[in-house]
């Protein structure tokens, strides 16, 4: 990127931050009674359990030390998360790879540090829709958490291979967005016919009468793509490598805990999601969801690039991306 363009972008972002919320302390600066503050972002769903475990078990506090105040912030979608990362409202956190790639391709300063979860995306149809298979999708309406989000790209890639496209790119399948916790009500009202949805909402919808149209192991990149990744900014890596290393260390502890203590991890997830969304999930629903999700810190760079190529072919990205500089796994335990 040319220096002039880079300076202009930084200037715009800086003025925007000042106008929106005044000056903001970066990680490593003093505040909060003399303590530094590190803000971790995540979503209230099964893909993001590592953050819930870290919060419950105090892993970030443990590795960052008593002079650091850890704050957690939740988001409804990847767009809101990425905006917060770019403006410095959070320092690191968990998000789907779709928004990360879209923002990186558009010049955002973001780095993938580790994987968090894989799998868990399911396409389900409402009972009222009468949809029985992918042959019944013409003229229907589907919903995902966001335009170009991970689940959106997975679904549209899968459908494109079958010759089905969304109205966004000239097809007949209409697309809307919304919070997965509200899909049940939207199915009941008839506003949408089917959804590409992450767990545990997929299992909840199926329990309420929805039909699985495309399962996790069938949808594109369903078991190979990190469904959630741990990210931060390149700026933070450059300015405070020790902090970033400790963030990754705490994340690794969380993922290890989940795999070693699945029953307790599920209980923590249920309680955490209830606290955030005011929705109490049935333990049986969570257990069903758990079978479709795996928790790992691994990131397959080749799969990430393939997924990005699909985003470009589906016109979520204006230019064909090159992501060799997006993934930085130097802090992972080898």
State pLDDT tens for residues 289-316. Answer: 999 999 999 998 899 999 989 989 999 8
Low-confidence ranges of the chain (pLDDT < 50): 1-25, 30
pLDDT at res. 285: 92
Dist CA 274 CA 268 (whole Å): 10
pLDDT, position 2: 40
Q: What is the Cα–Cα distance from 301 to 285, expressed in whole angstroms? A: 32
Contacts of 282 (CB under 8 A, 6+ apart): 204, 207
40 Ramachandran zone, left/alpha/beta (phi>0; psi -120 to 50): beta
For residue 33, what pLDDT is reported? Answer: 63
Quote the pLDDT of residue 27.
61
Q: Name, in order, each residue with C-beta under 8 angstroms of 198's C-beta and a sequence gap of 6 or more.
A: 45, 46, 47, 120, 121, 122, 145, 151, 180, 227
* DSSP 8-state assignment for residue 42: E
Between the alpha carbon of residue 216 and those of residues 16, 197, 213, 291, the distances in Å are: 40, 10, 10, 10
> Nearest-CA neighbor of 47 among 200, 262, 274, 232?
200
Beta-bridge partners for 142: 175, 194
pLDDT of 28: 52
- Determine the pLDDT at residue 58: 97
Q: Which pLDDT value is given to residue 35?
A: 82
DSSP conformation letters of 190-235:
TS-SEEEEETTHHHHHHHTT-EEEE-TTTSTTTTTSEEEEEEE-HH
Measure the CA–CA gap between 198 and 150, rounded to whole angstroms. 10
Q: Would you call the peptide bond into 183 cis, given omega within 30 degrees of 0 as the criterion?
A: no
Buried b (16+ CB within 10 A) or exposed e, 267-292: ebbbebbeebbeeebeeebbebbbeb
Nearest Cα neighbor of 197 from 258, 150, 135 is 150
pLDDT tens digits for range 239-272: 999 999 999 999 999 999 999 999 999 999 999 9
């Amino acid at each position: 990127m040319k220096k002039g363009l880079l300076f202009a972008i930084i200037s715009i972002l800086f003025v925007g931050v000042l106008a929106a919320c005044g000056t903001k302390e970066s990680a490593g600066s003093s505040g909060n009674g003399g303590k530094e503050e590190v803000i971790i972002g995540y979503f209230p769903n099964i893909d993001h359990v590592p953050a819930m475990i870290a919060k419950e078990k105090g892993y970030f506090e443990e590795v960052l030390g008593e002079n650091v105040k850890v704050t957690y912030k939740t988001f409804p979608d990847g767009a809101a998360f990425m905006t917060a990362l770019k403006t410095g409202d959070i320092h690191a956190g968990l998000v789907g790879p779709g928004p990360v790639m879209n923002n990186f391709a558009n010049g955002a300063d973001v780095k993938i540090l580790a994987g968090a979860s894989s799998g868990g995306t399911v396409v389900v149809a409402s009972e009222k829709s009468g949809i029985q298979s992918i042959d019944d999708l013409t003229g229907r309406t589907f919903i995902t958490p966001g335009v170009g989000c991970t689940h959106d790209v997975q679904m549209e890639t899968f459908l494109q291979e079958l010759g089905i496209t969304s109205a966004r790119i000239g097809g007949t399948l209409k697309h809307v967005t919304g919070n997965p916790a509200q899909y049940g009500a939207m199915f009941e009202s008839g506003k949408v016919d089917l959804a590409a949805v992450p767990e545990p909402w997929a299992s909840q919808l199926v329990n309420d009468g929805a039909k699985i149209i495309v399962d996790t192991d069938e949808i594109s990149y369903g078991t190979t793509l990190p469904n959630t990744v741990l990210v931060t900014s390149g700026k933070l890596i450059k300015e405070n490598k020790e902090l970033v290393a400790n963030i990754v260390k705490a994340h690794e502890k969380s993922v290890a805990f989940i795999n070693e203590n699945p029953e307790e991890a599920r209980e923590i997830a249920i309680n955490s999601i209830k606290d955030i969304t005011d929705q109490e999930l049935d333990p049986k629903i969570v257990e069903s969801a758990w079978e479709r999700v795996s928790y790992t810190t691994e990131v397959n760079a080749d799969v990430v690039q393939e997924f990005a190529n699909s985003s470009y072919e589906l016109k979520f990205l204006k230019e064909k991306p090159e992501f060799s500089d997006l993934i930085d796994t130097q802090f992972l335990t080898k």
